[in-house]
Amino acid sequence: MLPVYLCAMAQTLNTLVLAMALLAGSALAGTQEEIDHLLNYVANTSCKYDRNGTIHDGPEARDHINMKYEHYKKRVKTAEDFIRYSATKSLMSGKKYKIRCPGAEAVLASDWLLDELKVFRENGEK
């Protein structure tokens, strides 16, 4: 039989391990929620996605970004990783993706998505 203090230490360690697991799960859920929001944002925009000089509407852009996300999913730990790996530039040409919104200058897709991620976080939409 273990001394009482060892039982208490084991109980504390178990509680700590459980708490860490719950926090990790919560962070992953938050990241996935942010990624889902960004994918929906792309799909529902009136802006056009410029990939290698070819213009795509929101749903087409979302499908392409999601395909790249599925490929890089194991590397993605944050929404910023998602943007970096899935929505920044062409793997084939190295050209950066651009967003072309009506009445505005083209912007880099990474900047456009990082701006939306900031707004999403500030509004506490999680």
- Residue 89 pairs with which residues in a beta bridge? 96
Task: State the pLDDT at residue 125.
Answer: 57
Whether residue 103 is contained in a domain is answered as: yes
Indicate the number of domains in the chain: 1
Task: State the pLDDT at residue 124.
Answer: 79
The pTM for the full model equals 0.75
Residue 51 and residue 19: Cα distance in Å, rounded? 43
Report which of residues 81 and 1 the model is more confident about: 81
Whether residue 33 is contained in a domain is answered as: yes
Whether residue 57 is contained in a domain is answered as: yes
Task: State the pLDDT at residue 81.
Answer: 98
Say whether pLDDT at 71 is over 80: yes
Whether residue 24 is contained in a domain is answered as: no
Domain range for 116: 29-122
Whether residue 17 is contained in a domain is answered as: no
Task: State the pLDDT at residue 21.
Answer: 40
Whether residue 99 is contained in a domain is answered as: yes
Task: State the pLDDT at residue 35.
Answer: 98
